[in-house]
Amino acid sequence: MAKTVKRKYRSTRRREQAEETRSRIVSAANELFVTQGYGRTTIAEVARAGGVAVETVYAAYRNKAMLLRHVWYSAMRGDEEDVRLLERPEIQAVLAEPDLATRMRAHAIVMTEVFRRITPLFRALQGAASSEPAAAALLAEFDERRLDAASHYAHAAASTGKLVISEDECRDVFAATLDGALWHRLVEERGWTDERFAEFLGSMWIAALAR
Distance CA 167, CA 118 (A): 27
210 and 129 part of one domain: yes
124 and 195 part of one domain: yes
Fill in the DSSP letter of residue 85: G
137 and 60 part of one domain: no
User: Which residue type, as a one-letter code, is found at position 171?
Assistant: R
Q: Quick one: pLDDT at residue 9? A: 62
Q: Quick one: pLDDT at residue 173? A: 98
139 and 192 part of one domain: yes
195 and 155 part of one domain: yes
For residues 184, 189, 195, 197, the Cα torsion angle rounded to the nearest 10 degrees is -60
Q: What is the CATH number of the domain that holds 37?
A: 1.10.357.10
Show which of 20, 47, 82 is a domain's final residue: 82
165 and 121 part of one domain: yes
DSSP-assigned letters across all residues of 177-197: TSSSHHHIIIIIIT---HHHH
193 and 124 part of one domain: yes
Ranges under pLDDT 50 in the chain: none
Q: How far is C-alpha 157 from the chain's CA centre?
A: 22
63 and 87 part of one domain: no
Of 204, 206, 196, 211, the closest CA to residue 109 belongs to 196
Show which of 53, 82, 111 is a domain's final residue: 82
Q: What is the CATH number of the domain that holds 138?
A: 1.10.357
- Using a cut of 0.85, tell me whether the model's pTM lies above it: yes
Q: Quick one: pLDDT at residue 5? A: 58
* Cα–Cα distance list, 12 to 56, 81, 87 (Å): 19, 17, 27
114 and 94 part of one domain: yes
107 and 188 part of one domain: yes
194 and 209 part of one domain: yes
Of 62, 61, 78, the closest CA to residue 70 belongs to 61
Q: Cβ–Cβ contacts within 10 Å for residue 134, how many?
A: 19
Instruction: Supply the range of the domain harboring residue 31.
Output: 1-82
67 and 1 part of one domain: yes
Q: State how many domains the chain has.
A: 2
Dihedral over Cα of 89, 92, 97, 103: its sign: positive
Q: Quick one: pLDDT at residue 6? A: 62
Q: Quick one: pLDDT at residue 7? A: 67
